[in-house]
Structure 1
């Protein structure tokens, strides 16, 4: 009788183990291909009404496979930082990470870095996570128009160099 009840207790455990084992799949050890239309070096040459704004940021993206690198050049008439960081109202920040496109939204998930794209843990300006979402307004071969969902500013990017995705091992 005891062995019969012991088997009954093992039955649900066995089913759970089989369900977990079959649900887990190993991901490949290579980066994803990303979106073909985004592959390349993109530059925001100007910002609409820049002279009338208290601050604005110009973007320079490099998108390769499922990864992005972004240089952010901020121009500001207002000092948000200590005087040693303000740099006469012009400063650069850098970030890298991965991206995804869901519907018409470009989702950037990364971290702020130093100029060499190595991790930044302290210093002037922002550090930590870089999370930004853009609505893709339009895209042609050499022009990409995005709307920053944080501040609804339009970001018009021009393709400076096309890149062909060659996935690398992780």
Structure 2
């Protein structure tokens, strides 16, 4: 008499196979994170400096951006000033202060979405307390490439768009995560 291997006669194996099939059908969008960072937008690769306009110089409070894009990652420096500083403040030095953030970005149609965390100038993450903002950083811009070296950024949380000019081009070389 020849013995046949029958996989599904065991109740345990039948239950295990059913659970595996159910989990595969329930989570079809699940996948492992990539081993390397993604390419990002080719036209953004490099360092960009905001051009200040005459209007911005007339404002009471304004922020100037310096953005660096490397593959799918960003680092932003926000240099702010205010002519309306009331009283002594150890954080605001003569009406000037800087904040920094780093993270990843993605572009959907004409909208550039930056998501990351506030950090120190040396890229270390900023801890709670101290001066200014900490924790999550998220900002979105409508972007329009004007030329190879000028991009128009229109912050969705502000009414003043600005141009940024390319000061240093770089090439994306994806790094391991």
1:55 counterpart (43, 54, 61):
61
Query: 1:138 deviation in Å?
Result: 3.1
Match of 2:25 in 1: 19
Instruction: Report the number of matched residues.
Output: 168
Given candidates 106, 114, 118, the residue that maps to 2:112 is 106
Q: How far does the alpha carbon of each residue in 1:133-166 deviate from its partner, in whole angstroms, 9 at most, with x for none?
A: 0001334210011101001211210000111000
Distance 1:123 1:130 in 2: 16
Q: CA 1:43 to 1:10, structure 2 compared with 1: closer, same or farther past 3 Å?
A: closer
User: How well do the aligned residues superpose, as a CA RMSD in angstroms?
Assistant: 2.6
Tell me the distance in 1 between the aligned counterparts of 2:162 and 2:134. 23
Query: Shift of the alpha carbon at 1:75?
Result: 1.1
Alignment match, 1:168: 175
Would you say 1:96 and 2:96 are equivalent positions?
Answer: no
Q: Greater helix share, 1 or 2?
A: 1
Find the aligned partners of 1:41 and 1:80 in 2 and give their Cα distance. Answer: 34
The correspondence for 1:152, drawn from 147, 159, 172, is 159
TM-score, normalisation: structure 2: 0.83
Q: 1:63 to 1:18 in 2, by over 3 A?
A: closer
Segments of 4+ moved more than 4 angstroms: 5-12, 20-23
Of residues 9, 29, 51 in structure 2, which corresponds to 1:45? 51
Where structure 1 has 5 or more consecutive residues not aligned to the other structure, the ranges are none
Aligned to 1:126: 133
Gaps of 5+ in 2: 1-8
Determine whether 1:77 maps to 2:77: no
The answer as to whether partners of 1:43 and 1:160 remain within 8 angstroms in 2 is yes
**Paired residues of 2:61 and 2:80 also in contact (CA < 8 A):** yes
**Structure ID, larger Rg:** 2
